[in-house]
Structures are given as structure tokens and as C-alpha cells.
């Protein structure tokens, strides 16, 4: 939890705390009914007279903003990986379906137009994967990874929405039903452009890195 212990200091008053679930005064509120990533619960946390001991401060008092930014920067690599994974899964289902679904007496995978679309999607997924790997490599090496992480998240989140949407198109009407998992991947992909910083935040981070 991030809270401002000194509002007059602005962001310099923000402090990070570890709130344990058995602390008196903490209640879990309603579970949000979300569009996607429904396997990951998002709930309201209600703090009413919750007292937190000093030992539960993460880092230093007043340094929470730095903790938050560092967490976001690292998290962008993970979000990029998440988007690559779900887009790759959607593509794998599309490839399997294209080999089985027949039109005009042959699998639709034999039609050149569809082959080109699959090839473009595979290239998009692989490009996003390499951006994510590069950002992770730089982080592990202790080098500056701020802009590469933003690039990885920006591209992978956009790619995931595009690829999962195209996979639904490939399935036709079946893709719009819950009989096949591609609709879930499509819903799950939207969050990639929102959390750990929106698309515009990534663009701003990249631009600042380029312009100094």
C-alpha cells in the first residue's frame, strides 16, 4: 500500500507499507466483475483505523514514490511477457483450427491469403518476444532498461490486441463464442494497454528517453 504520510511534502511524502491481511481495521470489499484476466481477483481494500507498525514500512519513509516507479518499470517487462504469452496461445489455437477447418474441400490453411495472415501474426509475436527478452536482459545485467521496457510493453500490448482479434476473425462465428478460447485471449489482451502505465505513458517514457 502506498500512502502519503506528509501531504505538504507532495510526492516526497509517499511511503510504501506492507499491510498484512490479519491487521485490525482492514477489510476486503467487493470483487470487481472485469472484462478480462478474471482469474486474477481485483478487490476493494477498506482501511478503517488500521494501524501499521514501522517495521512494515517498505524501504524508507518518504521514499515510496521511488519504490512505486521502480515497481512499475520492472512490471512492464512482466506485462510484455504476459501479452506475448496470450497472443502466442491464440495463434497456436488459430494454427490448429486452420489445419482442421475445411472449405471447398480442403483445409483453410492451404489458402494463401490465410497463410500470409498467419505469417504476419507469427512475426508480430516474435518481434514482441524479442523486445521483452532484450528489456529483461538489460535489467538482469544491471543496465538502464527504462526505455526498452516501455517499448516492450507498448509493442506487445498493441500486438496482443491485434493478433487476438485476427484470431477471432479466423475462427469466424465460432471465435465469437465461448466454445473456443480465443475470445478469452481477446478479452485478456485489453488490460495490457492499461495497467503498469497506459499506452500514452509508455510513449511519453520513450520520448523522454530519446530527447533527454
Q: 38 and 11 in one domain?
A: yes
**Residues 148-167: what's their mean pLDDT?**
98
Q: 123 and 20 in one domain?
A: no
Q: What is the pTM of this model?
A: 0.92
Known catalytic residues are 196
- 142, 169 contact by CB (below 8 A): no
What is the spatial distance between Cα 182 and Cα 179, in angstroms, rounded to a whole number? Answer: 9
Q: 126 and 44 in one domain?
A: no
Nearest to 202 by CA among 63, 77, 42: 77
- Per the structure, the count of domains in the chain is 2
Q: 50 and 98 in one domain?
A: no
Place of cell 477447418: 101
Q: 74 and 166 in one domain?
A: yes
Last-in-domain residue among 37, 58, 79: 58
pLDDT tens figures, 60-93: 999 999 999 999 999 999 999 999 999 999 999 9
pLDDT value for 129: 99
Q: Give the domain range for residue 37.
A: 2-58
Amino acid at each position: 500500500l502506498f500512502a502519503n504520510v506528509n501531504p505538504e511534502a507532495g510526492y516526497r511524502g509517499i511511503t510504501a507499507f506492507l499491510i498484512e491481511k490479519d491487521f485490525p481495521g482492514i477489510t476486503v470489499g467487493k470483487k470487481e466483475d472485469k472484462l478480462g484476466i478474471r482469474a486474477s481477483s481485483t478487490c476493494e481494500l477498506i482501511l478503517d483505523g488500521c494501524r501499521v507498525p514501522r517495521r512494515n514500512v517498505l524501504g524508507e519513509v518518504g521514499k515510496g514514490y521511488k519504490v512505486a516507479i521502480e515497481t512499475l518499470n520492472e512490471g512492464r517487462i512482466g506485462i510484455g511477457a504476459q501479452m506475448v504469452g496470450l497472443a502466442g496461445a491464440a495463434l497456436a489455437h488459430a494454427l490448429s483450427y486452420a489445419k482442421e477447418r475445411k472449405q471447398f474441400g480442403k483445409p483453410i490453411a492451404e489458402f494463401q491469403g490465410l497463410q500470409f495472415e498467419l505469417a504476419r501474426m507469427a512475426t508480430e509475436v516474435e518481434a514482441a518476444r524479442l523486445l521483452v527478452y532484450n528489456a529483461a536482459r538489460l535489467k538482469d545485467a544491471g543496465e538502464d532498461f527504462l526505455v526498452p521496457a516501455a517499448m516492450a510493453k507498448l509493442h506487445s500490448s498493441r500486438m496482443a490486441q491485434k493478433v487476438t482479434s485476427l484470431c477471432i476473425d479466423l475462427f469466424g462465428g465460432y471465435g465469437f463464442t465461448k466454445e473456443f478460447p480465443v475470445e478469452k485471449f481477446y478479452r485478456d489482451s485489453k488490460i495490457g494497454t492499461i495497467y503498469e502505465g497506459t499506452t500514452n505513458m509508455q510513449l511519453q517514457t520513450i520520448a523522454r528517453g530519446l530527447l533527454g
